[in-house]
Amino acid sequence: MDYIIAKSIVSNYKEDNNWFGANYTMNIYKGCCHGCIYCDSRSDCYAIENFDNVRAKENSLDIIRKELKSKRKKGVVSTGSMSDPYNPFEKKYNLTGRALEIINENGFGIEIATKSDLITRDVEILKRIKEHSPVICKLTITTMDDELCKKIEPNVAVTSKRFKAIEKLSSEGIYTGVLLMPILPFINDSEENIISIVRMAKKCGAKFVYPLFGVTLRNNQRDYFFKALDKNFYGVKEEYLNVFGYEYLCLSPNANYLYKILSDECKKLDILYKMKDIVEDYKKGYFNEQISLFDI
């Protein structure tokens, strides 16, 4: 594990955060070795050199402890926005797990996004945080097919393992759901895939499924994505160029139809799928604050 110097890790407070109602962000690691072909964090605008190499921020736990103690407002801390907090190194170094202990000691809530089933290791500390503050865990699911998963997310826990993690967290009373994104045009944007994921989410106790029926592509990330398409999905790159050119947001041609399919299935199964509803639900009973949110 290599380390990099960081002066700050926990962001400043935000009152109105449109992304799952988090008030702070916290990224202990820089870079990611998951190798997901669609990852926007690889883009030049984030200035992450050697993105595929994971590095930890030096003295991260001391910095987090100091910064949380200095915060005047309690709130929900988000992790997983730029790199997965449960990358393979986390199993040995336990930086995310120990950061959760500090979050608990200081009375903050937590919002976690991950593609790893290692998150289940920390179920007991998540339960302790839940006693005083909101907790929400989001596991990315893009396809029901483990073999397809290996092509688009080559170095992470396959879909079936992630669903088992959702089931474990949910059975322990942790508010957990699915980030259904990105749904890649011409690859996994089928009605069968969407319905299967929603139904499995329900079976595993998920509270929500939040979707994006498309993918974002810019500068060097687009080049990385297109090379992966040429390797594993012959002819699909040409479809992207013909339909989207060099647009940033590449929505599935079936996006509106798929959203209707998803919303109908979620309503039938009593699963949330709108941001506003999800945030209100997981924060219910904790904070008395007014949050400006968006619907899709």
Q: How much is the pLDDT for 288?
A: 56
* Token pair 């998803």 in the structure block, residue: 262
Instruction: Identify the pLDDT of residue 260.
Output: 98
Calculate helix-pair angle for 219-232, 236-244, nearest 10 degrees.
140
CA gap 78, 24 in Å, rounded: 6
Angle 226-228-233 (CA atoms, 0-180°, nearest 5)? Answer: 95
pLDDT in the model for residue 254: 95
Roughly how many angstroms between the first and final C-alpha of the chain, as a whole number? Answer: 40
Q: How far is CA 9 from CA 42, 72, 95, 157, 196, in A?
A: 20, 16, 13, 27, 38
In the chain, which residues have pLDDT < 50? 289-296
SS3 state of residue 289: coil
Predicted pLDDT at 219:
85
CA distance 41 to 188: 21
Kindly report the length of the chain.
Answer: 296
Write down the pLDDT at residue 291: 43
Read off the tokens for 206. 């998920």
